[in-house]
Structure 1
Amino acid sequence: MKPPTIPLPSDLQNPLNRFYEYLRSEKGLSLHTQRNYKQQLETMAGHLVTMGLKDWSQVDSTWVRQLASKGMRDGMKASSLATRLSSLRSFFDFLILRGQLTANPAKGVSAPRKQRTLPKNLDVDEVNQLLEVNEDDPLAIRDRALMELMYGSGLRLAETVSIDVRHLSLSSGEIRVVGKGDKERKVPFSGMAREWVTKWLKVRASIANADEPALFVSKLGGRISHRSVQKRLAEWGQKQSVASHISPHKLRHSFATHMLESSQNLRAVQELLGHENISTTQIYTHLDFQHLADVYDKAHPRAKKKEEK
């Protein structure tokens, strides 16, 4: 749904501009999140103008419900509508903080609950097939190091792209990454990930600009972009004849799934993935039910079968 082209009255636009600056300077949100908030808020503000509103103080819960209903009629996904309402709630909280509102009209309005679908993962054979890249070209070495690290440490795309060389400790096998909400954590990397990152560091200087801090750089010498990583992974999936489409999130999910299947330690995997809530980690669990049934049969005192006499 494209935002209306009608210009916003200053009483609607000026508070938005102050909110955008607040997100940038005080909240420190990622550029991606800032752009999402701006797009959603500008769209809603345009709709409010068409509904006859000229000031944010005129918005009440009825208007917010109308905005949500319009989004549903326009075919918005539940996740997109949730993002829209979340941005509106945050904006109204900002206005309350600044003393421009006394209550948040979006607080009691919620999006329809979205169905949480399990992302598909690669099986171990597919991962091995993908990572059998043994070319000497520096870009191929970079790509294998990148894929080994994403799968080996379960990193998000944004986390991988933002890694600087100084964030690495090859001796201890640790990387400092900045995840969602600018939360910093250390993740281990070893084995093939460590081996191929080391190989990449040996050839990185032949591509990287002299003053470039990024670990992974493009052929132009600067920090590699999100889009380039997505494109290269998809290309390697085709080149290595992997049946599944390869994406950064699929490598992360495969890491989570394989770690859970091997360790059965949900809390540890939560820490490795950088999830604030364990419920987020639980959507990655699709362990074999028979395995769970076997554990139950062996562990629960009322499930144990009596020994035959």
Structure 2
Amino acid sequence: MNKTLKIHNKSDKPYNIVLKENELIEKCIHIQNSLPGFMKDYFIYLKNAVATSTRLAYLEDILFFCNYLVNETDIICSDNIKDITLEEFNKIKSRDVNIFLGEYCSRYYKQTKKTVLVFENHNRALARKKASIVSMFKYLYRSEQLKNNITDGFNPIKLPKPQPDAIKRLEIDEVAKMIDAVEKGEGLTEKEKVYWSKTKLRDKAVLLMFVTYGLRLSELQQLNISSFNFSRGEFKIYRKRNKEVLMPLNKTCETAILDYINNERANTSYTSDEEDPLFLSMQNKRMTTRAIRELVKKYTSIAMGTTKDNGYSPHKLRATAATSLIQYGFSIYDVQNLLDHDNVTTTQLYAAHKKNVKREIVKNFEWLEEETE
């Protein structure tokens, strides 16, 4: 008999965020139960050292690596990942990991009953897998479970240096076109207009929140009506590593959200004792991240005059917010704070337009006037 999961939430976090966190934790536990017992201390370390989403990503990579060791190498005698011994792990050399990352991971195959699937990992994905494996081997060495620190012998994985000019974002005039499209329905197909007529206030509020605050997709998707304190002009979000942050509401976003709540959302019949999601789907459920992505792609493609497939993701609207704020004269440190960048160098990438500002300044600042004949 399937039992309904009920979480006793003693924190002041919204139930939906606690539930999402618990889903990730359950996935972590499931993977841990499939891995060798000697990694238990490492699992405890991960639990307290990184965000839950990062912990899950690391565990998935380590499970993938162990599966490779069992099925593709002669290092491991057992046919079961769970039965891998610490003695066998001590036999692993840097070269073995380099072959895994450089040869196997870059292109591997999985067979199903009817097809053979080909998987490819480029350098960014390989670098993440390497980070997961480095983390594990370093911990096992520090805890004196492994005799040698083999991570020094891992081959470097070169990542392309981020180029400011290559950052994809909407220009300020394209943002205006996007908002105009969501207000008037221009550029939508007849079928899309049927849905638009029922969700245009919601869609407008979603897009304005993205381009104003540079919210991450998960931060916006998790918003509840109770996240907002309109009398104080602020709303609460939960960022990476469970950071609780109060954000000030500007008049544009406040008007758009209240317009949606009072005139469009009010017609829905959503009921729940534990949560009050802000943005609802046509089925009167919390919008999924996939639905929000599709919404953003649709309207950004109209703004840019391109196909829907070439529309932008919510993360590109985060970049749009960053570049627009800098363009309006806010410092990179202010923008870093608003967008929750760990490192200001990330924010600096969005200041690429400054070089164009400098060019215009110099161009229009002549000490000597040209002589006219």
Partner of 1:4: none
Question: How far off is 1:267 after superposition?
Answer: 0.7
2:160 & 2:69 partners in 1: Cα distance? 25
Partner of 1:7: none
Partner of 2:93: 60
Amino acid of the structure 2 residue aligned with 1:123:
E
Partner of 2:132: 87
Partner of 1:151: 211
- Please list the CA deviations of residues 21-56 of structure 1 after superposition, one character each: whole Å capped at 9, or x if unmatched: 865x5457344x455334322222233232222233
Partner of 1:3: none
Partner of 1:289: 355
Partner of 1:225: 288
2:34 & 2:213 partners in 1: Cα distance? 48
Structure 1 regions of 5+ residues with no counterpart?
Answer: 1-9, 299-303
Counterparts in 2 of 1:102-251, with a 5 A limit?
A: 104-106=149-151, 109=154, 110-117=156-163, 118-132=166-180, 133-134=182-183, 137-202=197-262, 203-205=264-266, 206-211=268-273, 212-238=275-301, 242-243=305-306, 245-251=311-317
Question: How far off is 1:208 after superposition?
Answer: 3.0
Counterparts in 2 of 1:6-85, with a 5 A limit?
A: 13-15=36-38, 23=46, 26=48, 29-31=51-53, 33-49=54-70, 50-54=72-76, 55-70=88-103, 74=107, 76-85=121-130
Question: How far off is 1:160 after superposition?
Answer: 0.9
Structure 1 residues 297 and 242: alpha-carbon distance in aligned structure 2, compared to 1, 3 A threshold: closer
Of 197-206 and 254-263, the range deviating more from structure 2:
197-206
Structure 1 residues 183 and 108: alpha-carbon distance in aligned structure 2, compared to 1, 3 A threshold: farther
Question: How far off is 1:150 after superposition?
Answer: 0.9
Structure 1 residues 305 and 158: alpha-carbon distance in aligned structure 2, compared to 1, 3 A threshold: same
Amino acid of the structure 2 residue aligned with 1:180:
K
- Please list the CA deviations of residues 42-71 of structure 1 after superposition, one character each: whole Å capped at 9, or x if unmatched: 222233232222233322323222222225
SS in 2 for 1:176: strand
Q: Equivalent of 2:331, from 247, 252, 265?
A: 265
Partner of 2:117: none
SS in 1 for 2:328: helix
1:65 & 1:89 partners in 2: Cα distance? 12
8 Å Cα contact 1:185/1:274 also seen in 2: no
Question: How far off is 1:20 after superposition?
Answer: 6.0
Question: How far off is 1:237 after superposition?
Answer: 3.6
1:101 matched to 2:167? The reply is no
1:238 & 1:170 partners in 2: Cα distance? 32
Structure 1 residues 103 and 138: alpha-carbon distance in aligned structure 2, compared to 1, 3 A threshold: farther
Structure 1 residues 238 and 68: alpha-carbon distance in aligned structure 2, compared to 1, 3 A threshold: closer
Q: Which has the larger radius of gyration?
A: 2
8 Å Cα contact 1:64/1:105 also seen in 2: no
- Between the two proteins, the alignment pairs up a number of residues equal to 293
Structure 1 residues 26 and 218: alpha-carbon distance in aligned structure 2, compared to 1, 3 A threshold: farther
Question: How far off is 1:92 after superposition?
Answer: 2.9
SS in 2 for 1:208: coil
1:163 & 1:97 partners in 2: Cα distance? 41
> What root-mean-square deviation, in Å, do the aligned CA atoms of Structure 1 and Structure 2 show?
3.5
Of 71-80 and 275-284, the range deviating more from structure 2:
71-80
Structure 1 residues 156 and 108: alpha-carbon distance in aligned structure 2, compared to 1, 3 A threshold: farther
1:37 & 1:221 partners in 2: Cα distance? 35
Amino acid of the structure 2 residue aligned with 1:126:
E
Structure 1 residues 73 and 99: alpha-carbon distance in aligned structure 2, compared to 1, 3 A threshold: same
2:137 & 2:58 partners in 1: Cα distance? 13
- Please list the CA deviations of residues 178-204 of structure 1 after superposition, one character each: whole Å capped at 9, or x if unmatched: 223333333333132121112222243
TM-score norm. by structure 1 comes to 0.79
8 Å Cα contact 2:106/2:126 also seen in 1: no
Question: How far off is 1:79 after superposition?
Answer: 0.9
- Please list the CA deviations of residues 109-165 of structure 1 after superposition, one character each: whole Å capped at 9, or x if unmatched: 332133324321111121111112337845322121111111111111111112233
Amino acid of the structure 1 residue aligned with 2:159:
R
